A and B are shown apart, each in its own frame.
Chain A
Amino acid sequence: MVYLFVRPLGRIGGTKNFHAGVELRPNEMNESDTEERQGDGRVHLSMMVNGALRSLKVEPRMTLLDALREELGLTGPKKSCDRGECGACTVHIEGRRILSCMTLAVMHEGKQITTIEGLERDGRLHPLQQAFIEHDGFQCGFCTSGQIMSALAMIQEAKAGWPSAATADVTKPFATADLSEAEIRERMSGNLCRCSCYPNIVDAVVDATRRI
């Protein structure tokens, strides 16, 4: 007997708010979800989000992604696969890129979180955001905030001398000058783009690396 499987998008999530590409408002959620949300095992949590202290009350099972989107209204990080497979939910914790769908909000009490909303300064876009526009680094845009947050931290990792799977000799120090297109593609492989804008994304990152 041969089993085949088809997995619906985001079928099991903290609040099942994303199904087949349609976001449901809270009053459209089914009853069991609403009950679960009201059962009060919620805990207080404070985090520095985009430079501001934010306090919230979350169920321990709530992912950081759901907390950012639903409790703090930061919809820049996207909920796409909800399985750590696509990178659309990428944010920074203490300056490091992570997947906010694969970690619980309660685990980050007191931490510095940066989302795409935290990159602009006084209404001016971050050079990396500007580079994505200039190089047409997106089509539908759903993966873009994750791409940009990932690329920004990736450039810092390269500057810190971190090697990658594309580095020929990991025993030698890695220099930013070694950040070739192949290196960028490898280091960005955790961010999928279904519109396949990869060549332009790479161009934007190459350009931004010079500007940052």
Chain B
Amino acid sequence: MGEEKDILDGLIQELRRGTLILSVLSQLKEPKYGYSLVQSLEGKGVSIDPNTLYPLLRRLEKQGLLVSEWEVGEAKPRKYYRRTYQGDEIYQKLKVQWDKMSASMKNLFAED
């Protein structure tokens, strides 16, 4: 029984992994710092571990989809991320892709 749960957990993780990038991109039209991003995602029902989010942000920045900036004016320094122009474009394309995929999944499930 435990093994079945492990398999299920693993598969759910795989499913989630692809959607996380899309979720993160969707929230970064306006600049946000790490933890505010965690909270705004959580508020919308998407839970993400910080130890997944932070490396992911870094990777998306490396790919040119996000830019970051240290804001040092406030009480403590904070790193703000937002989408770049390229990030906007990719996000729009990914969204279209997502809609296509979820429509075809619906079709597949309709057969049940």
Chain B binds chain A = no
B contact residues vs A (CB 8 Å cutoff): none
Q: Which residues of A approach B to under 8 Å, CB–CB?
A: none
